[in-house]
Amino acid sequence: MKYYVNDSCIGCGLCAGTCPEVFSMSDTGVAVAIDEEVAEDVQNSAAEAKDGCPVGAIEEA
């Protein structure tokens, strides 16, 4: 499974704080997801980050 962050990201940083293995903050202040399959050992925290996004900006690719 892969994730991506859509244009509705408000740059709160919750996802990067919850699952830094998958999400990080860009130089422009919005979140980005790694461009590869999410490792099995962090799939739960990545899903938690997606579910916790206050604006629903994280989607499964």
Per-residue pLDDT of the chain (61 residues; tens, 9 = 90+): 999 999 999 999 999 999 999 999 999 999 999 999 999 999 999 999 999 999 999 999 8
> Is the backbone of residue 9 left (phi > 0), alpha (psi -120 to 50) or beta?
beta
Q: Is 4 exposed, middle or buried (0-12, 13-18, 19+ CB in 10 A)?
A: middle
What is the pLDDT, as a whole number, of residue 59? 98
Structural domains present in the chain: 3-60 (3.30.70.20)
Q: Which amino acid is at 48?
A: E
The predicted pLDDT at position 13 comes to: 98
pTM for the model stands at 0.95
8 and 56 Cβ atoms separated by less than 8 Å: yes
- Which 8-state DSSP code applies to residue 42? G
Query: Quick one: tokens of 3?
Result: 């994730």
